[in-house]
A and B are shown apart, each in its own frame.
Chain A
Amino acid sequence: MPARSIMHMDLDTFFVSVERLLDSRLEGKPILLGGTSDRGVVASCSYEARSFGVHSGMSMKMARQLCPEGIVIRGNSSNYMKYSAMVTDIIKESFPLYEKTSIDEFYVDLSGMDRFFGCLKMASESRKRIIKETGLPISFGLSQNKTVSKVATGEAKPNNQIKVDTGLEKAFLAPLSIKKIPMVGDKTYQLLSNLGVKQIRTLQQMQPEMLEKVLGKNGLLLWKKANGVDTSPVIPYTERKSISTERTFDRDTIDVAKLKGILTAMAENLAFQLRRGNKVCACVTVKVRYSDFNTYTLQAHIPYSSADHVLIPKVLELFDRLYNKRLLVRLIGVRLSSLVTGSYQMDLFSDNEELINLYQAMDKIRNRFGDRSVMRASGIQARSIGRGNPFTGDAAPLLANRRS
């Protein structure tokens, strides 16, 4: 196979950059963006704030202690979506094969373009165009595969670019920390650090079989990535595999009636999202995190459905089985997966015409007046659950701290 050319683009401190565009007074100041309550987490922070030791995913309380002069902004996701769409439009116009992996990250396959313009030239020109037209700083890494490009982008930041020439991938990766490999999270990092592996160089020199013993199947994959080998293609459009919603409470609660009300509202909203996206699901998962940070999930398989009266009782039943600790609850969530495009197959005995007509009428109202315009009374107390349509083809607007 001839060497490919794959570019990874990432908007620098995207949320902060957007806020600065909207309010120039924020330039050059440390900014903490995220939940404003003590329970909130930092979704994004400016480079000025990073020098205080703040990083995304950190709790807002801690970030404030580290960086007392930081300006805390709650942020507005619709602005970010708007700017993200602007960048996407430019990329869509310039390149035929691109993958949007999150609100501010793209992979572009430039293979073969060397014969015409030169990949690096094309890449830098499109970067300049994005900076000029949107005013947002963006960095990219260019190499022959996705992993190396992503690492290169990380190295290039802020607002710069790096090209890793074919054949030099191993040498480029060798001096870096193993943390820079996209697969390595906190757990793997700890595990490998305990084994004395800190630099990618060490990983490269290890026997793949040994890594496989330590990490299982992922060990082999990690070894390949460490050696700059990654054959995964750029996938133009990724189908949503699940939809979910979760809620962290400002104050831990043991109020089961309130929890059930929120779960009902969540399930009702997700069921509506399914119907709007013309989907049915076959797997329901409920998640509970107690105040001691222990998280439990329970899932159940059901016949394909998108009906409230199937999903809501299932969610509540799973919650009843899951919630058995008599501890304060910090977070609850609902997730629907095993999605398939299609409509709900009505049941002879448990459904009737009135019920289906009711769903269709409620969906119509919601489509016109918004997600939360009509709902079950038991879920009315739950605020801020309704969200955008998850099936429009865009990647989910994942917060920085929840990225894999």
Chain B
Amino acid sequence: MKFIVSTSTLLHHLQTVAGVVVSKPVIPILETFLFDIKGGNLIVSASDLETSMTTSIKVEADEDVSIAVPSKLCMDILRTLPDQPITFSIETDSNSIEIHSGNGRYKLAGQPGADFPKIPEVESESSFSIKSEVLLNAIGKTVFATGNDELRLNLTGIYVELKNDNISFVATDANRLVRYARTDVAPGVETTFILPKKAANLLKSSLSDDDSTVKIDFNSSNAFFGFGDNTLVCRFIDERYPDYNAVIPKENPNTLLINRMEFLNSVKRISIVANKTTHQIRLKIAGSELTLSAEDFDASNEGLEKLSCDYTGEDIEIGFNSKFLMDMLNGMNTEMVKLELSTPNRAGVLLPQENEAGEDVLMLVMPMMLNNY
């Protein structure tokens, strides 16, 4: 059987789902895309058993077929071809795929489509809708703070808390934490789940930044995200999320109000001379002056900058990982930010000076234990 499709359209769709494919998967067929043609629609699926994505494209096809196509080879060919219509000829008996371009042909060995793992079907218990840009923003603001430690699996995803009339996204790697809440989204159900980092990153790269709608169906173990021509299915992380509310300090008598970009740029410069492994920098606030400093004893580099700021509270000296500070300051949008502190051994809380409508952002970072004697 044959079907005709334009290289750029197909490549664009393949790139959307290609992020799911892992190199050296447990079963070899996961290195392929499933091409499923049904009534003039090409549905491409990719899966790593935990997370799966599908995307659909209108093609000119003469009959229905299902075949697994080697993902890397297929993408490499499409990427190097100029934009043109190409013909796929598929032989289901020999599982071969032949691609005909304007001046050539490529023959690839495929695998029977029936061997591709079945992607879970939507059997939703509940569902709600959210604007694409809102979800994109929420993931963008939180995913950087998720953990990578396989021993703390519960922290390797975004904790999503659904309430009747609001939704919050929480991410932490035990050293810093971000809580991003939306009060203008009403899921209408009360539940929680941990969205794996991989699925979050895939959504981040494929969601469009507009007010189109993302439909989310979920049950106790899976979620189904439908947006545009695409769907993403993922299994939740089946772990207990730590009680993050308990670690957010309630009383922070010292408040620093500072221009976000000035602060960020200073931290960036100072971190250049900080130790390359610990990224440790020192903030010293006295009166209305903030002194940032760092030293790398191993390479004998050091740096110091002074910034004027608006500060109320006792003088303080506190150590932070500059990478964390930069990530957090980058994640803010407002011109001015507030850094609330209590003592050098308690978490610092970063807040926007004023939350935008419908948003509630809180970022928290644990200090480094400085020894001053």
User: Known contacts A340-B277, A351-B366: does B373 contact A345 (CB below 8 Å)?
Assistant: no
Residue B21 at the A interface, CB < 8 A?
A: no
Q: Which residues of A contact B100 (CB under 8 A)?
A: none
Q: Which residues of A contact B149 (CB under 8 A)?
A: 303
A347 to B369, CA, bound (A): 11
Mask, A262-283, CB within 8 Å of B = 1, is 0000000000000110101000
The answer to whether A343 and B247 touch across the interface, beta carbons within 8 angstroms, is no
The answer to whether A359 and B369 touch across the interface, beta carbons within 8 angstroms, is yes
The answer to whether A356 and B345 touch across the interface, beta carbons within 8 angstroms, is yes
The answer to whether A346 and B345 touch across the interface, beta carbons within 8 angstroms, is yes
Residue A231 at the B interface, CB < 8 A?
A: no
Min distance, Cβ A251 to any Cβ of chain B, angstroms: 39
Min distance, Cβ B295 to any Cβ of chain A, angstroms: 9
Q: Which residues of A contact B176 (CB under 8 A)?
A: 348
Contact-residue size bin, chain A (C-beta under 8 Å from the other chain): 20 to 34
Number of interface residues, chain B, beta carbon within 8 A = 30
Within B268-312, which residues are at the interface with A (CB < 8 Å)?
275, 277-278, 280, 296-298
Residue B172 at the A interface, CB < 8 A?
A: yes
Q: Which residues of A contact B298 (CB under 8 A)?
A: 239, 340-341
Residue B82 at the A interface, CB < 8 A?
A: no
The answer to whether A345 and B345 touch across the interface, beta carbons within 8 angstroms, is no
Q: Which residues of B contact A363 (CB under 8 A)?
A: 371, 373
A304 to B149, CA, bound (A): 13
A95 to B196, CA, bound (A): 60
A190 to B347, CA, bound (A): 59
B344's nearest neighbour on chain A, judged by CB, is: A356
Q: Which residues of B contact A306 (CB under 8 A)?
A: 369
Residue A373 at the B interface, CB < 8 A?
A: no
Which of B175, B244, B278, B373 sits near A343, CB closer than 8 Å?
Answer: B278
Residue A364 at the B interface, CB < 8 A?
A: yes
Which of B177, B343, B346, B369 sits near A344, CB closer than 8 Å?
Answer: B369
Residue B368 at the A interface, CB < 8 A?
A: yes
Q: Which residues of B contact A341 (CB under 8 A)?
A: 275, 278, 296-298
> How would you classify the secondary structure of chain B's contact residues: helix, strand, loop or mixed?
loop
Min distance, Cβ A137 to any Cβ of chain B, angstroms: 37
Q: Which residues of B contact A349 (CB under 8 A)?
A: 174, 242, 247
The answer to whether A347 and B278 touch across the interface, beta carbons within 8 angstroms, is no
Residue A324 at the B interface, CB < 8 A?
A: no
Residue A342 at the B interface, CB < 8 A?
A: yes
A342 to B172, CA, bound (A): 22
Residue A353 at the B interface, CB < 8 A?
A: yes
Residue B157 at the A interface, CB < 8 A?
A: no
Within B221-259, which residues are at the interface with A (CB < 8 Å)?
242, 244, 247
Residue A194 at the B interface, CB < 8 A?
A: no
Q: Which residues of B contact A404 (CB under 8 A)?
A: none
Residue B319 at the A interface, CB < 8 A?
A: yes
Residue A77 at the B interface, CB < 8 A?
A: no
User: Known contacts A304-B277, A341-B298: does B242 contact A346 (CB below 8 Å)?
Assistant: no
The answer to whether A340 and B275 touch across the interface, beta carbons within 8 angstroms, is yes
Min distance, Cβ B129 to any Cβ of chain A, angstroms: 33
Question: Which 9 A-B pairs give the minimum distances between C-beta atoms?
Answer: A342-B278, A343-B368, A346-B366, A356-B345, A344-B369, A340-B277, A341-B297, A353-B345, A347-B174
